[in-house]
Amino acid sequence: MSPSEVDEQPHGLGPTRAKVLGLLEGTTQPVTVSEVANELDLHKNAARFHLDALVEAGFAHRAPIPTGSQGRPPQGYMATSEAPSVTSTHLLELTQLLLRHFVATSPDAIAVAEDAGREWGDSVAGRDTPPDQVLDELTSSLADRGFGVVRENSTLRFIRCPFRSAIPPEQLPLVCAIHRGFIEGFVRASQRDMPVGQLKVGKRICTVQIS
């Protein structure tokens, strides 16, 4: 979701601050004050004000930006795992409705959810992505969809899920199955000989191994 698509939600943030947080949640790298200001057409002082407020609230943290050179690296900002999702309510309600009426009623709901996820991942994957860039592309694609993803070699750690606090607990296994299918469909479409392991769902952090 792009920052322009962020609606004002009951997360306690005003529209501008929600857009700033939405920008942070849509990236896998620290974002500078200048980048936020340019992306959202804000004055640098205003961008810094909202970023610092998000840090104070625990929704963002400051992180060094690697430069590959000596000296103190510049500081950027990233969303934390405590950051609220700034998704659109009507989309979440539609997701719940579709899960309840078209997936959960299936005799093998998990398999149906994974199949749907594979088709989704296949539809957004790049067919010409070099093998050594597939996981980076996957990570970026997941970040675009609001996930906080940390890549550790061939393991992806999900430190933030936009659905965990927004979907009823009984529907979360279906959502996880869809996203596991998304990963598999994305990888298969980009690089067919990279097996995707099971998505290990934790209380706060989920992991998946991609060989």
Residues whose CB is less than 8 angstroms from the CB of residue 25 and which lie 6 or more positions away in sequence, other chains included? 79, 83, 85, 86, 143, 146, 148, 160, 162
Whether 147 and 75 share a structural domain: no
Whether residue 10 is contained in a domain is answered as yes
Whether 70 and 103 share a structural domain: no
Please state the rounded mean pLDDT for residues 24-50.
94
Whether residue 123 is contained in a domain is answered as yes
Please state the rounded mean pLDDT for residues 68-94.
81
Residue 73 CA to residue 64 CA, distance in Å, equals 6
Whether residue 197 is contained in a domain is answered as yes
Residue 19's CATH number: 1.10.10.10
Whether residue 84 is contained in a domain is answered as no
Structurally, the chain folds into a number of domains equal to 2
Whether 131 and 187 share a structural domain: yes
Res 89: pLDDT? 63
Domain that holds residue 149: 89-209
Whether 112 and 73 share a structural domain: no
Which tokens is 75 given? 């500081």
Whether 112 and 195 share a structural domain: yes
What percent of the residues of the chain are helix, what percent strand, and what percent coil, each to the nearest 5?
50, 15, 35
Q: Are strands 148-152 and 155-160 parallel, antiparallel or unpaired?
A: antiparallel
Residue 91 CA to residue 105 CA, distance in Å, equals 20
Whether residue 66 is contained in a domain is answered as yes
Paired with 157 in beta bridges are 150, 207
Helices 109-124 and 172-190 cross at an angle (nearest 10°) of 40
Whether 61 and 154 share a structural domain: no
87-121 pLDDT, tens digit per residue, is: 566 677 888 899 999 999 999 999 999 999 999 99
Residue 94's CATH number: 3.30.1380.20
Whether 127 and 180 share a structural domain: yes
Q: Flag whether the pTM goes above 0.85.
A: no
